[in-house]
Amino acid sequence: MMLVPILRVARPTDNLPALLRFYCDGLGLQQLSAFTAHNGFDGVMLGHPRASYHLEFTHQPGHVAGRDPTADNLLVFYLPDAHEWQAAVQRMAAAGFAPVPSYNPYWDQQGRTFEDPDGYRVVLQQAAWSL
């Protein structure tokens, strides 16, 4: 039996409260865990309790993480159901986040791209994932 690994995408930020609003209020992720002053870092883990991935955002007080992304640094969420995709796009709009043009026009064909407070981009793709 092959085990499926759990994926954690971790990155630093200077904007924990703003990222919580984007990823929780906008994208609908849940805060799974949080920590304060753990080896000098504060952070949160976001995702869905039954998903095999989560996002971790950390902040080290007194340290500036800065903005390093390019316009093509993407997290892509595949939402094949048209109603679920539309609800996700509407949730982003209701939370005050407008789509931005994608750097790669491929993502604009069946999706909407949103930029988080750190400049990283998230695509809501209205398609099924396939190899």
- Give the residue extent of every domain in the chain: 7-59, 74-125
Average pLDDT, stretch 116-128? Answer: 96
Q: What is the pTM of this model?
A: 0.92
Residue entry with tokens 């316009």: 71
Type of residue numbered 111: G
What's the sign of the alpha-carbon dihedral 35, 51, 87, 109?
positive
What class has domain 74-125? alpha beta
pLDDT tens per residue, range 5-44: 889 999 999 999 999 999 999 999 999 999 999 999 999 9
What class has domain 7-59? alpha beta
- Fold equal for 7-59 and 74-125: yes
Question: What percent of the chain is modeled with pLDDT above 90?
Answer: 90
